[in-house]
Structure 1
Amino acid sequence: MAPLNENQLNQKKAERKEQIMRAALKVFADNGVKLTKISMIAKEAKVSHGLVYHYFDSKDEILYESIEWGTEENRATQVFNDLNESGKSPLEKIKAFTQFAFSESDRWVTQSVFRIMQHLNETNGLPDHINELVNNAGQFYIEALSPIFREGQKFGEIIQGDTEELLGIYLTVLSGIMADDPSFWKENTEWKVEILSRMISAR
């Protein structure tokens, strides 16, 4: 077998790094940042513990680069484009997004990044560069959800009041659930989302 040339080697390294970042997103999303260990990421990626350190110096570096990669790859705007083109009412769009956040999905990268954001919202003492990344990603979801909330208030589906404050409460509740035990929401998700949605429903 002929040895790999430089381009092939670089491609193989890039693929291996992506393999680790994909695994990291899943592990961070499922377990939260504090409980995640390098060994867990290595196991999920099906690589050795030492190989992870060949590509990353620390857990913080894996977290940052995985979120950065995931944010670029997840095409989160497509999730909201699909919602906005779905013909659903504002409240139904919020229910659909909530269910997406908790359910297994083929858009698992988008979902994992969102779930990690919620974990990190409950985490203190993060390095500044990770805080900045989290804030920027979080702002995207605020800007995407705000028009849906305002439309729901306009049509009387969602309770009145300060839209940004209401959205903040909704996202805080999601953060708390994900930081506690998101696995609970994987069963009977639709029914649980229906109950949760009553928090903001005007009906």
Structure 2
Amino acid sequence: MAPLNEEQLENIRNERKIQIMRAALKTFAENGIKLTKISLIAKEAGISHGLVYHYFKSKEEVLYESLEWAMELNETHEYLNELSKMSVSPLEKVRQFTKYALSSSKSENSHIFRVIQHLENTDGIPSHILDFTRNVGIMYVEFFIPIFIEGQEAGEFIQGDPEEIVGLFLTIISGVMADDPDFWHENMDRKIEIFMRMITTR
């Protein structure tokens, strides 16, 4: 068998690193930040403990790079772009996003939200990791504030500080995604309608 060339070796290294990051997100999401050890990540990835350190210097580095990688791949960015262009009411945009978010709560995307929830409740997290997760939150808030303002002007959403209402809306959504989603997957449309009553005038 011919030896692998540099490009093939680089592809193998990249695939292995992605394998570790995917396993890390799942492990952090399920166990929390403090309880996750490199050994648990290695076990989830199906590799040796030492091999993780070949790609990452520390658990904190695995955490940061995994979140960064996942956000770059996160299809939610594309979905929000599509949602902004839809010719539907603000209320319908929020309803559709809610269904999208809860429908994906069993997918890999939900690991990001669960990890962020853990980070918000864990002391001693490096500042660059907290800054990254805050920026993720700001992105969602900045996207939804104009939609909620438009909805308030149209009489669809309750009156009040739109940033505060958006914050409440996103906190509940992320909390549901971070929890066991099975409850929401049964009779989802009905439950979404009940949820929407918190922010609508109907």
Number of the residue aligned with 2:166 = 167
Q: Return the letter of the residue paired with 1:128.
A: S
Q: Return the letter of the residue paired with 1:41.
A: I
d(CA) in 2 for partners of 1:144, 1:115:
21
d(CA) in 2 for partners of 1:194, 1:124:
36
Number of the residue aligned with 2:65 = 65
1:156-195 to structure 2, matched below 5 A, reads 156-195=155-194
List runs of 5+ in structure 2 lacking aligned partners: none
Cα displacement (A) at 1:161: 0.7
d(CA) in 2 for partners of 1:187, 1:53:
42
Number of the residue aligned with 1:5 = 5
SS in 1 for 2:136: helix
Instruction: Kindly indicate whether the alpha-carbon contact (under 8 Å) linking 2:32 and 2:118 is maintained by their aligned counterparts in 1.
Output: yes
Instruction: Kindly indicate whether the alpha-carbon contact (under 8 Å) linking 1:158 and 1:201 is maintained by their aligned counterparts in 2.
Output: yes
Calculate the aligned-residue CA RMSD, in Å.
2.7
Number of the residue aligned with 1:41 = 41
d(CA) in 2 for partners of 1:118, 1:180:
10
Q: Return the letter of the residue paired with 2:132.
A: L
d(CA) in 2 for partners of 1:169, 1:158:
13
Number of the residue aligned with 1:92 = 92
Q: Which digits, 9 at most, give the CA deviation of each residue in 1:122-159, with x for residues without a partner?
A: 43432111011111111111111112211211211110
TM-score by length of 1: 0.82
List runs of 5+ in structure 1 lacking aligned partners: none
Number of the residue aligned with 1:154 = 153
Between 1:163-172 and 1:66-75, the stretch displaced more is 66-75
Number of the residue aligned with 1:127 = 126
1:188/1:44 CA distance change after superposition, 3 Å: farther
Cα displacement (A) at 1:198: 1.3
Q: Return the letter of the residue paired with 1:156.
A: G
d(CA) in 2 for partners of 1:32, 1:191:
31
1:68/1:186 CA distance change after superposition, 3 Å: same
1:171/1:72 CA distance change after superposition, 3 Å: same
1:101/1:75 CA distance change after superposition, 3 Å: closer
Query: Number of paired residues?
Result: 202
1:178/1:33 CA distance change after superposition, 3 Å: farther
d(CA) in 1 for partners of 2:199, 2:53:
45
Instruction: Kindly indicate whether the alpha-carbon contact (under 8 Å) linking 2:90 and 2:147 is maintained by their aligned counterparts in 1.
Output: yes
TM-score by length of 2: 0.83
